[in-house]
Amino acid sequence: MEYRNATLKDIPGITELQLKYHVSTIKEEDKIDGFVTTLFTEDQFKELIQKENGLAIACDGNKIVAYAMAASWKYWSAWPLFQHMIKDLPNTNYLGQTLSMENSYQYGPICIHKDYRSSKVLPNLFEFSRKQMNKRYPILITFINQINPRSYTAHTKKLGLEVIKAFEFNNNQYYELGYDTSKKTPGATI
């Protein structure tokens, strides 16, 4: 398995994976194992790759089997949910610090093709992304929909993210979670 940053040529493969597991297009029987809610347009993928270098992928040969996003809050401010989270940063403390757009970034969504779940792809892709973002930010912040228990278990029990608070947005219930980016990811082998 190869872990690397995506380039513009990878966008079609990432779009295919996004379609397969996005809440609006996922097969009903796949929903139980999680879904992604942030939908990216081609331009948003381009900006993420070119301006943020924030699109990590796992490749099995030529096939893109997983992706994980990570970017500054400035990038995410295009989506209403993130505007809500950004406004709340000054009210949130984690690792002894008050969160800000300077000391934290937003990780996620992450999406792994179902044939590659329950494997090293989860910790290794997370680790690949964490190592790069650690050079810029001490704190990782993310959110998980409370009706996505697989993602919750994967992030809290396997990767060691900590729940900071619960919040509601647009009638959905979410957890906000954090991670100290100086810590190596449990279970990672890269």
Ligand X SMILES: CC(C)(COP(=O)(O)OP(=O)(O)OC[C@H]1O[C@@H](n2cnc3c(N)ncnc32)[C@H](O)[C@@H]1OP(=O)(O)O)[C@@H](O)C(=O)NCCC(=O)NCCS
Residue 144 touching ligand X (CB under 6 A): yes
Residue 17 touching ligand X (CB under 6 A): no
Please, what is the Cα angle at 126 between 122 and 128, to 5 degrees? Answer: 120
Name the segment binding ligand X (CB under 6 A); options: 51-59, 70-78, 111-119, 175-183.
Answer: 111-119
Please identify which residue in 148, 161, 175, 177 interacts with ligand X, judged by CB under 6 A.
Answer: 148
Distance from C-alpha of 19 to C-alpha of 61, rounded to nearest angstrom: 21
Q: What's the token pair of residue 81?
A: 């949910």
Q: Which is nearer to ligand X, 92 or 148 (CB)?
A: 148
Please identify which residue in 49, 56, 65, 111 interacts with ligand X, judged by CB under 6 A.
Answer: 111
Residue sitting closest to ligand X (CB): 34
Strand 162-169's sheet: what is its strand order? 2-5, 55-60, 63-71, 104-112, 139-145, 172-180, 162-169
Please identify which residue in 146, 153, 172, 173 interacts with ligand X, judged by CB under 6 A.
Answer: 153
Residue 174 touching ligand X (CB under 6 A): no
Beta bridge partners of 56: 5, 68
* Residue whose token pair is 């990780």: 107
Question: Measured from the CB of residue 151, what is the shortest distance to ligand X in angstroms?
Answer: 4
The answer to whether the beta carbons of residues 125 and 56 sit under 8 Å apart is yes
Q: Would you tell me which residues interact with ligand X (CB under 6 A)?
A: 21, 32-36, 108-112, 117-118, 122, 144, 148-151, 153-154, 158
